[in-house]
Amino acid sequence: MDDLCRRKDLTRVDFIRIQFGEDELDVLLGAFATLLRDRPALLLRWGRRRRPDRRRTADTVRSLTVSLSYTMHGWQEGTWRPVTDAMPGWGGFLFRPQPVPGRLP
């Protein structure tokens, strides 16, 4: 993602949607500079195929986004609700950036 932003001369990214497959962690790590610079909202969705490491992957994604001051939300009863953990049966999550102290909005 960071390389793509440089090649396409993108000056700002406000929203990233990732359909998880096999390499979601590589995608997020490859977008690290963009996440730090632009603080885009992230919509991370899993496909229908169940993976044995899905829980571990969700936990790793959660750790990465928490360290970048994002809050995690799950879709429930027609609205995004704050959650602290990957819930069974939920296919995706919205991560919203929180203000970073000492940084202008």
Check if the beta carbon of residue 62 is closer than 8 Å to that of residue 72. Answer: yes
Check if the beta carbon of residue 75 is closer than 8 Å to that of residue 97. Answer: no
What per-residue confidence (pLDDT) applies to 39? 92
- Residue 90 or residue 85, greater confidence: 85
What per-residue confidence (pLDDT) applies to 88? 60
Q: Please state, as a whole number, how many other Cβ atoms lie within 10 Å of the Cβ of residue 42.
A: 22
- Could you read off the pLDDT of 21-59 as tens digits, one per residue? 666 677 888 888 999 899 999 988 766 555 566 666 667
